[in-house]
Structure 1
Amino acid sequence: MPFNVTAKNVALDGLDESASAGIKYVGVHQVSDPGTGATANAGEANGGSPAYARVAVTWGASASGQKTNTNAFAIDVPAGSYAFITLWNTASGNTGTQYLGYLPLNGTVKGVGTVDSAGVTSDAIQSAAHGLANNDRVMLFKVLGESLPAGLSEGTIYYVVSATTDTFKVSQTSGGSAENITGQGELYFQKVVPETFNAQGQITVAAGALVLDATAL
């Protein structure tokens, strides 16, 4: 069910921090899928000195089917590898009403891809000028309520392999064999750039760096 831009903006503004059920805080998740269930999967950062804590976020008005943060902030994290910014209604808790979703960390490269009959044969995703390179890490998402092309999984952090200007393949290992795609379909992809800390550190987020994007709906 496609929505026009007006509807997308209205829906996104329902997630504003001023809304009772909106996104008021953001957190950090390790390199494991936070999931899209009522509660986040295990993996939220924990501990450290200064201790990790979710931080408050403010959002600008939605425009062109997108909504971005207006405040810059830093999140203290203990040593570890982190790949996601998680979205929350409260500063603590994960019991079924607080968790609202996630964004891939540093995921500025994103777009739509398709798998046609030729792509099923070659295990390739078509996406004009996609901007991905071999060994980039990427997540794949459903679009318009459809299922992903058979053979691909939402929540898996893939490695890009065999990238050309307009096509790419994905593998579960760096430089590994391409996933066997067995069905046609469409998808939305977003690059993930994990950050690793050998000691206590901070993940910094600039104003405008978090994008709630409804353009694929």
Structure 2
Amino acid sequence: MPFNDLGKNKMLDGLDESVSGAITHVGVGNLTDPGTGANYAGTEATGGSPAYARQAVTWGAAASGQKSNTGALTFDVASGTYAFLLFFNASSGNTNNFLGYAPINGSVKGFFSVDTTVANDALFSVAHGLSDGDRVQLFNVFSETLPTGLTEGTVYFVVNSTSNSFKVSTTSGGSPVDITAVAGGEGFFQKVIPEVFASQGQLTVAVGALVLDGTGI
């Protein structure tokens, strides 16, 4: 069931840090799919000097189906590759306090459909903004199922992209994933640009850069 912006705003405001059990802290995770369980499924950043720590977050009021951070976030991180910003309702621990995540640098996103013949393994999305070599995650929408062969949350590489379509591979420049059945026939994509640190560094999130988006609701 689709919701209008008023409904989306009310749901997003239920995630405000002022609401008990909602998103109070943001963490940083590696390239592993974070999952959608109550416990984070990947590996959270750790260690370093200064030491890594989750950061408290403040959210603005939702508007137009979106909600974003009102204060900048700065994370001290040790060397490594980081791909996700993690949403928690606690400053530490990973037991029944994980609420979701957002890909780092995930501003390129949109919906896609699949040719019902499934012959060419292509995902169709007008002016999608992706290029070969980009990393992208795919998600189902409106409780549908992704086309058979694709796995929700997996970080794929874009291959064989055109202006209005693209394919995905499990390796950079590799063979496209074989789509064997349409299933739901559509989905949502979001680009992921991992941040790579060869040594100790800081990962920063500017004001308004972390967006909770109700588009797919």
Q: TM-score, normalised by structure 1?
A: 0.97
Q: Deviations over 1:42-82 (max 9, x none)?
A: 30001111111000111111111111111112101111000
Q: Supply the AA of the counterpart residue of 1:172.
A: T
Q: Supply the AA of the counterpart residue of 1:88.
A: F
Mapping for residues 1-217 of structure 1, pairs under 5 Å: 1-96=1-96, 98-118=97-117, 120-184=118-182, 185-217=185-217
Rounded to whole Å, the distance in 1 between the matches of 2:93 and 2:170 is 32
Rounded to whole Å, the distance in 2 between the matches of 1:116 and 1:8 is 30
> Equivalent residue of 2:119, what SS?
helix
Q: Which runs of 5 or more residues in structure 1 are unaligned?
A: none
Following superposition, which runs of at least 4 residues in structure 1 exceed 6 angstroms of deviation? none
Rounded to whole Å, the distance in 2 between the matches of 1:66 and 1:150 is 30
> Equivalent residue of 1:81, what SS?
strand
Q: How many residues align?
A: 215
> Equivalent residue of 1:7, what SS?
helix
Q: Which runs of 5 or more residues in structure 2 are unaligned?
A: none
Q: TM-score, normalised by structure 2?
A: 0.97
Q: Supply the AA of the counterpart residue of 2:5.
A: V
Instruction: Note the aligned Cα RMSD (angstroms).
Output: 0.8
Rounded to whole Å, the distance in 1 between the matches of 2:25 and 2:110 is 26
Rounded to whole Å, the distance in 1 between the matches of 2:194 and 2:100 is 18
> Equivalent residue of 2:202, what SS?
strand
Q: Supply the AA of the counterpart residue of 2:105.
A: N
Instruction: Give percent identity, aligned residues only.
Output: 60
